[in-house]
Chains A and B, each alone.
Chain A
Amino acid sequence: MILPTLLCAGASFRRVIAPRNLALALVAGAITGLALLGLPAPGLVSSAYQVLVSTLGGLLVLPIVAALPAGDRALGYEQLVGLRPVPSVSLALGRVLGSVVGAALLVLLLGFSARMVAAGRELPREVVGRLASEPEQPPMFRFGIPADLAGPFQLSLAVHVPLRQAGELIIDARRGEGTQRSSHRVRPTRRVVLPVSDMAPQRGDLYLTLRAGDGLVLAAEAPRLEVGRELLGDASLRLPREAALRIALAVLAAVCAACAFHFETALLAGLLALLVPSQQNPSGVLLTSGLLLLFAVMGTALVRRQALP
């Protein structure tokens, strides 16, 4: 039974990774990469990458895998397949195996092509300030700055300034033994970006105490210090491993449903599986997969029985 299963799997795999499907995955990946280029912060890019790859990946592969058995049946090609002396178990398991492996390859291709487009982008390297003062004192933030980075740095701060007024912001900086005070006039805006000296030759963490004058209110959001620029890189764009199980189950549901039902029903089954939060319980995943495979085998046998009474 193993050899026919592998042969069926190979046939399904070849059809899933047809040149047109590979091209679709590449294009979807390139579009994902281009979308990532427009995002401002590395953290946002990283999370958007994971969401886009898992969502677009699912939407790309589900119609492809659902169309294989369902399309064959609609065309009548199923009868030529059904006439071959291959057991229904091998046919069903082979279809599922080939489709799942092919779909995984397409999603990976999508993820890697998105990475190729987006990974070369330069983004600001930011350090988030940690509050290091008592509640009744003016807020003091600690910034852990890598020793190899030289200033000046850019402080990004969310503020509230009433319209047609201007506020004053005094920054007391301390690094090592050195201290420095600077005063800035802030116009009505929601975010202000101010230069901060690196206080060379002092090294170590940088402490900034922010004192808001009349007409200026500091927002609750922690200030950020841009300490340089860096390439987005492959490390920031990690493949959505958490979503892999959900996509695999969705593909499994779509293929198994397509073994017995029409394309639309199979696609719906896959989409539902994609939307349902993934089960982290291994026994639950195994049970679901086993039931789906059983359904695929029974569906294939019954449909074949219909085609070959």
Chain B
Amino acid sequence: MTLLVAKAITHAYRRGFSRRHPSLVDVDLTVRPGECWGLLGANGSGKSTLLRILAGVSLPLAGEVSLLDHPAGSRAARSALGWVPEAVGWPRALTVRDVLMELASLSSSREIMARVLRVAQLLELEPLLGRRLGSLSYGQSRRVVLGQALLDDPPLLLLDEAFSGLDSLVLHRLRDDLALRLAGGAGVLLATHRVEDLHGLATHVAVLRDGRLCQSGPADELLAQAATPAGLEQLLGIRA
């Protein structure tokens, strides 16, 4: 059984009338239950674009994506997915409680408040539930973005720079929660440009370089290679 299968994903951004700038070229990826894939890459390597395509929010030029054997973007695929985008423009007048309840109710009518409170407890959002989204700091806002993805306990989580802006306590709790979810058969794809985020969590690592998947495999091997600055530069393809 696979949670996510991406085959030969190719994507390009339009530049001018006819020119296209390739952002992803023939990317293959498979996530199985219990696997946490760390998606490493320098800024601009195509991590966020890949996650948007996997979530079904952007269309690839070529290739296929399926989540639990359903095409990306379909209703069944959306039900199985929790997506943390890199940035969200919240409606500023709404409170944290409003937005979490709205998103929770749009997924399922069962235990709406209980689900919201569970996520709020996990991410230390309880004191912020009555606060307007426009008044939140960056880190607090990121916690709300994470919260909305965890509301429905989806079997697959696509996390784009999910750990950025989080304080140590929340980060620790979140990592524990993700580990529990992985043990329960969920799958996680965590895009980051910081190798430290993957230690102790990722079971596999894929490295994107200029839109191409240049390396992928068990996390231990690749993270060991990235243990030194020189090794990391070599892994990410950054020239000092």
Q: Name A residues whose Cβ lies closer than 8 Å to a Cβ of B.
A: 3-4, 7-8, 10-11, 14-15, 18, 20, 71-72, 74-77, 79-81, 83-87, 91, 307-309
The 4 closest A-B pairs by CB, nearest first: A75-B89, A84-B106, A309-B59, A11-B102
Question: Given the complex, which residues of B lie within 8 Å of A87, measured CB to CB?
Answer: 75
Contacting B81 at CB < 8 Å: which of A20, A77, A83? A83
Question: How many Å lie between the Cα of A278 and that of B59 in the bound state?
Answer: 44
Smallest CB separation, A15 vs chain B (Å): 7
* Chain B proximity of A156: nearest CB distance (Å): 51
Return the contact of B91 from the options A75, A79, A84, A309 (Cβ within 8 A): A75
Is the contact region of chain A dominated by helix, strand, or loop, or is it mixed? helix
- A residues within 8 A CB of B148? 80
Contact A86 B106 (CB under 8 A): yes
Give, as a whole number of angstroms, the nearest-CB distance from B135 to chain A. Answer: 13
Q: How far is the CA of A76 from the CA of B75 in the complex (A)?
A: 19
Chain B neighbourhood of A307, CB < 8 A: 57
State whether B83 touches A18 (Cβ < 8 A).
no
Size of interface on B: residues with Cβ below 8 Å to A: 29
Knowing A20-B93, A308-B78, say if A84 contacts B98 (CB, 8 Å): no
Q: How far is A79 from B75 in the complex, measured between Cα atoms in Å? A: 14
Whether the pair B83, A83 counts as a contact (CB closer than 8 A) is yes
A91 to B88, CA, bound (A): 20
Q: Can you list 23 A-B pairs with a CB-CB distance of less than 8 A?
A: A7-B106, A8-B105, A10-B105, A14-B98, A71-B91, A74-B89, A75-B90, A76-B88, A77-B88, A77-B91, A79-B57, A79-B85, A80-B83, A80-B148, A81-B106, A83-B55, A83-B78, A83-B81, A84-B106, A85-B78, A85-B107, A86-B107, A308-B78
With A15-B98, A85-B78, A308-B73 already in contact, the answer to whether A4 and B56 are too (CB < 8 A) is no
A contact residues around B103 at 8 Å (CB): 80-81, 84
Residues of chain A within 8 A (CB-CB) of B105 are: 7-8, 10-11
Shortest Cβ distance from residue A12 to the other chain B in the assembled complex, whole angstroms: 9
Question: Least Cβ distance of A150 to chain B in Å?
Answer: 57
Q: Measured between alpha carbons, how far is A75 from B73 in the docked complex, in Å?
A: 20
Contact status A83-B89, CB under 8 Å: no
Q: Closest residue of chain A to B94, judged by CB? A: A15
Q: Which of B53-94 contact A (CB under 8 A)?
A: 55-59, 73, 75-76, 78-79, 81, 83, 85, 87-91, 93-94
* Further 20 A-B residue pairs, CB within 8 A, beyond A83-B55, A83-B56: A7-B109, A8-B106, A11-B102, A11-B105, A11-B106, A15-B91, A18-B93, A20-B93, A76-B85, A76-B88, A76-B89, A77-B89, A80-B83, A81-B102, A83-B57, A83-B81, A86-B107, A308-B73, A309-B56, A309-B58
> Which residue of the partner chain B has the closest CB to A19?
B93
In whole angstroms, what is the CA distance A76 to B88 when docked? 6
Give which listed residue, B81, B91, B106, contacts A4 with CB less than 8 A: B106
CB distance from B134 to the nearest CB of A (A): 11
Q: Chain B residues near A91 (CB, 8 Å)? A: 106
Q: 1/0 per position for B98-132, CB-CB distance to A under 8 A?
A: 10011101110100000000000000000000000
Contacting residue for B94 out of A10, A18, A84, A86, CB 8 A = A18
Contacts of B90 on A, CB cut-off 8 Å? Answer: 75, 77
A85:B89 contact, CB within 8 angstroms: no
Interface residues in B177-203 by Cβ distance below 8 A to A read none
Q: B residues within 8 A CB of A86?
A: 106-107
